[in-house]
DNA sequence: CGTGCTGTTGAGGACGATCAATGACGGTGG
DNA sequence: CCACCGTCATTGATCGTCCTCAACAGCACG
């Protein structure tokens, strides 16, 4: 059911500014700026970033029931937060992109885990250490709070997305496209299997397949290969009734500077 | 479409400790304690609490597109956060109970509003004033952050709830029961119309009606009156595959004391 | 060259939406 | 006091959608 082949993962802690440390800071900087927060103390995180290793597609990054003592930041690849339901079904709650924390907090629900959708590389931050940094930085705290809020908005939209298969899948794909664009991923080829889409949309694989084919016939998805490649973003957004402005909270909530000292 | 009859609502600001101010602090104290945070500086909020008035059932507490300069706290009654979709449909995202903020933040989405499900009384906190208090209180900040996280968990569960009508409705009702119990509402009579349930569960009114009747035949809901009254909580939870431990984040995340100075 | 995973296709059946109509109830105004 | 109206609950009939089961094709991998 679950291949558990971690590709790499030795932590290092020699205090030098390592490549993954630089990558982590850059990713977080962009993400927080997109939330309308310029975190000045971000460099405080550099010395405490550790190598989180690489994880092969399909493997768990955080296993169900894990209570890790570090937070995991996704550097490369795509992951998904999912819950294994009682009947064995996998319900995907959310996809994670570079710059997202896989587990800022330990997951309270023992059936919830994080899995690599494509091969992932990671950075790790010890809980005690990151907590001290957070305690010292008003802006970092605000940024993390806002990112929690953004998650809430994304979930809300997912609830509202129509029960019909076509708009539902379209909406899901639009969200992914929008989030990828926000972090500079220009490719419209999405690394999901139809099984992934089914588990995320809450539809059967068979029906997702038919829906994908219908979208291909409409020239919304590419018929060239068997991958999920979006060719007509406009129409996809229209089918999914996707607004997307809910992802742009930069200046929308910027007048709300809770906990930032002026 | 929308009755806009605000029953009361004169703000007062004479600095005296008013009844609604006392109520607001007590509600927030209980709520934050249930999140595992004991906010010592909660009394800082007392002098800035203003009367938010009363709103009749069915009326909007916060209208779509409103960008209020104050945060609204629900003191009595039940409200719902909803979005008016393009086709006129009302999609209910969440229900609000006493101690919940209707709008801690201004809503970025212009189609989202908050409506009184039953008659509500409110307290209001000026943005500038509450912001200053939040900036000064580490524990208050943590508590508010956690309440944002709790919202996220609740939304996640809603996404996972099975598409079939019966478990879906059961899950929704269980969540409400659990949240009501958490704030000491012992009554198992829920103040929702079947229309409310339909809009929240994403089902048609007709089908919700049949589902409710089925639940009554199973002696899970009361057949005595036409209200939604839960008689068999156990069975309801079993039908809705409701766990509920996701609502108890008190000590689950208590070792994670972000931004609290030790 | 099997083995496994993904994608694809067909057929049948369950479930929920829609349309339409009726009943029950409370409030309002003549 | 009663006729009228709006909201909510209820019921029946029909139709479309999506699920399930089952089988097979393509492809990567060992």
Token pair for B65: 């597109």
**Could you report the per-residue pLDDT of B55-75, keeping only the tens digit for each?**
999 999 999 999 899 999 999
pLDDT at residue A1 in the model? 37
Tokens 């694989």 correspond to A205
What is the dihedral angle through the alpha carbons of A243, A148, B169, A244, rounded to the nearest 10 degrees? Answer: 0
Through-space separation of residue B196 CA and nucleotide D9 C1' in angstroms: 13
- Measure in Å the smallest separation between the Cα of A262 and chain B Cα atoms: 10
Contact present, A38 and A139 (Cβ < 8 Å): yes
Spans of chain A, pLDDT less than 70: 1-16, 249-262
Question: CA-to-CA distance for B138 and B254, rounded, in angstroms?
Answer: 15
List, in sequence order, every residue forming a beta bridge with B248; answer none if it has no partner.
Answer: none
Counting one residue from chain A and one from chain B, the pairs whose CB atoms sit within 8 A come to 103
Tokens 């508010």 correspond to B144
pLDDT at residue A192 in the model? 98
Residue of chain A whose Cα is closest to the Cα of B81: A156
pLDDT band at B20 (very low <50, low <70, confident <90, very high): confident
Question: Comparing C-alpha atoms, which of B134, B79, B145, B90 is closest to residue B112?
Answer: B90
Tokens 């580490």 correspond to B138
pTM for the model stands at: 0.90
Question: CA-to-CA distance for B223 and B166, rounded, in angstroms?
Answer: 17
pLDDT at residue B9 in the model? 40
pLDDT at residue A256 in the model? 56
Query: At B14, is the secondary structure helix, strand, or coil?
Result: coil
pLDDT band at B4 (very low <50, low <70, confident <90, very high): very low
Closest in A85, A91, A134 to B259, CB measured: A134
Question: CA-to-CA distance for A156 and A142, rounded, in angstroms?
Answer: 21
pLDDT at residue A258 in the model? 53
Q: Is A252 on the interface with B (CB under 8 A)?
A: yes
Closest-lying nucleotide for B223 based on CA to C1': D9
Through-space separation of residue A205 CA and nucleotide D23 C1' in angstroms: 16
Which of A163-172, B5-14, B80-89 comes out lowest in average pLDDT? Answer: B5-14
pLDDT at residue B249 in the model? 61
HSE-up (13 A, CA, CB side) for residue B250 = 10
- Residue ranges of alpha helices (H) inside B61-137 are 127-136
DSSP tag of A57: T
Closest-lying nucleotide for B207 based on CA to C1': C16
User: Per the CB < 8 Å rule, is B151 touching A152?
Assistant: yes
Neighbour-count burial for B36-71, b at 16+ CB within 10 Å, e otherwise: bbebeebebbeebbbbbbbbebebbbbebeeeeebb
Q: Is B246 on the interface with A (CB under 8 A)?
A: yes
Question: CA-to-CA distance for B139 and B146, rounded, in angstroms?
Answer: 10
Query: Is the confidence at residue B112, as pLDDT, over 60?
Result: yes
Which of A105-109, B123-127, B140-144, B215-219 comes out lowest in average pLDDT? Answer: A105-109
Tokens 């939604």 correspond to B228
Tokens 């992951």 correspond to A79
């Amino acid at each position: 059911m679950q291949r558990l082949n971690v590709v790499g993962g030795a932590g290092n802690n020699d205090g030098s500014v390592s490549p993954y440390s630089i990558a982590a800071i850059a990713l977080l900087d962009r993400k927080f700026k997109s939330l309308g927060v310029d975190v000045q103390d971000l460099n405080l995180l550099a010395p405490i970033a550790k190598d989180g290793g690489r994880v092969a597609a399909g493997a768990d990054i955080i296993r169900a029931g894990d209570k890790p003592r570090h937070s995991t930041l996704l550097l490369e690849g795509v992951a998904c937060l999912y819950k294994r339901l009682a009947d064995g079904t996998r319900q995907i709650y959310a996809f994670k992109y570079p710059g997202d924390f896989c587990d800022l907090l330990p997951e309270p629900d023992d059936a919830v885990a994080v899995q690599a959708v494509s091969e992932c590389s990671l950075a790790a931050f010890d809980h005690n250490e990151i907590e001290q940094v957070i305690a010292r930085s008003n802006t970092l705290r605000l940024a993390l709070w806002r990112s929690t809020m953004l998650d809430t908005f994304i979930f809300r939209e997912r609830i509202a997305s129509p029960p019909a298969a076509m708009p539902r899948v379209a909406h899901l794909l639009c969200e992914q496209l929008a989030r990828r664009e926000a972090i500079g991923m220009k490719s419209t080829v999405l690394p999901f299997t139809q099984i992934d889409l089914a588990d995320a949309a809450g539809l059967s694989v068979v029906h997702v397949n038919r829906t994908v084919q219908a979208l291909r016939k409409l020239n919304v998805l590419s018929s060239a290969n068997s991958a999920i490649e979006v060719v007509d973003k406009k129409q996809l957004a229209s089918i999914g009734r996707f607004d997307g402005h809910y992802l742009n909270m930069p200046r929308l909530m910027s007048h709300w500077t809770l906990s930032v000292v002026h």
